[in-house]
Amino acid sequence: MSKFYVIATPIGNMGDITLRAIETLKEVDLVLCEDTRETKKIFQKYNINTPTMSYHSQSKLNKVDKIFELLEEGKNLALVSDAGTPTISDPGAMLISKIKEKFSQKTVFGEEPRRPSSGVEVIPIPGASAVIAALSASGLPTHEFTFLGFLPHKKGRETLFKEIAESKRTMVFYESPHRILKTLESLNKFCPNKKVCIAREITKIYEEFKTGTPQELLEYLKKNPVKQKGEFTVLVS
């Protein structure tokens, strides 16, 4: 039975990778990468020489067929994204779905399932995740939360801000540097009294957590343009 590993990689600090992840990346037959250039940086640091192949949101169907072919040959593969846990706001989720559909174990009701030699076992290798890292250090309630991924640029955006305003759970989403001010303006419009935490450049040199009302954070970023750069995880309580 082939194995397909879903491996989390560092979101910034290169030291945030597990021993199990390194060992697995060295042992598999091929590593599927969102961007092979980014993955090579990890390979160079940890002396990993496994062959790589790109797989991303623009990959064509023949790339999926090639992956199926390798799995049918009994090859063990791994999937990594540029940073963090694959499939979380990541095109890898579709690939996992296709693999499970292609190699699913079909049984007749009442029969004991059999594990065919042609099956594929999907195995997670957990590690860094910007969502969990941001929650852990935000100081906001974490017993219940909803992750929204990246907010839509236009269609449905206002509806989501209304949902955030009405939610009794902590809401978490990713935002790009060129949209962070507009996002805070929208939060200020729909939920001005909510507590917001912006986590910027998590695990990197300029890591920063800033908490306040949407208006306070908006004023802070406007007064400090350099703070508008980087990758943001936004949490709303």
* CATH number assigned to the domain comprising residue 176: 3.30.950.10
Q: Residue 119: pLDDT band by 50, 70, 90 thresholds? A: confident
Q: Is residue 57 domain-shared with residue 165, that is, in the same domain?
A: no
| Best CA proximity match to 77, nearest among 21, 10, 32 | 32
For 150, the token pair is 């990246």
Q: Residue 116: pLDDT band by 50, 70, 90 thresholds? A: very low
Q: Is residue 14 domain-shared with residue 88, that is, in the same domain?
A: yes
Q: Is residue 232 domain-shared with residue 171, that is, in the same domain?
A: yes
The residue type found at 59 is: S
Q: Is residue 232 domain-shared with residue 118, that is, in the same domain?
A: no
**pLDDT at residue 40 is higher than 90:** yes
CATH number, domain at 30? 3.40.1010.10
Q: Is residue 124 domain-shared with residue 184, that is, in the same domain?
A: no
Contact between 170 and 237 (Cβ < 8 Å): yes
For 163, the token pair is 């949902």
Q: Is residue 137 domain-shared with residue 123, that is, in the same domain?
A: no
Q: Could you give the number of structural domains in the chain? A: 2
Q: Is residue 51 domain-shared with residue 135, that is, in the same domain?
A: no
| Domain span including residue 182 | 131-236
The DSSP string of 171-230 is: EEEEE-TTTHHHHHHHHHHH-TTS-EEEEESTTSTT-EEEEE-HHHHHHHHHH-GGGG-S
Q: Is residue 223 domain-shared with residue 156, that is, in the same domain?
A: yes
| Best CA proximity match to 128, nearest among 81, 70, 173, 186 | 81
Q: Is residue 177 domain-shared with residue 224, that is, in the same domain?
A: yes
**pLDDT at residue 135 is higher than 60:** yes
Cα 109–chain centre separation: 36
Q: Is residue 110 domain-shared with residue 172, that is, in the same domain?
A: no
**Average pLDDT score, the chain:** 92
Residues with Cβ within 8 Å of 64's Cβ and at least 6 positions away in sequence, in order, are 95, 98
**pLDDT at residue 72 is higher than 60:** yes
Segment 212-222 shows an average pLDDT of 98
Segment 176-183 shows an average pLDDT of 96
| Best CA proximity match to 8, nearest among 204, 149, 17 | 17
Q: Residue 51: pLDDT band by 50, 70, 90 thresholds? A: very high
Nearest 5°: phi and psi at 158? -65, -35
Q: Is residue 164 domain-shared with residue 221, that is, in the same domain?
A: yes
Q: Is residue 105 domain-shared with residue 214, that is, in the same domain?
A: no
- Domain final position from 128, 146, 163: 128
Contact between 152 and 161 (Cβ < 8 Å): no
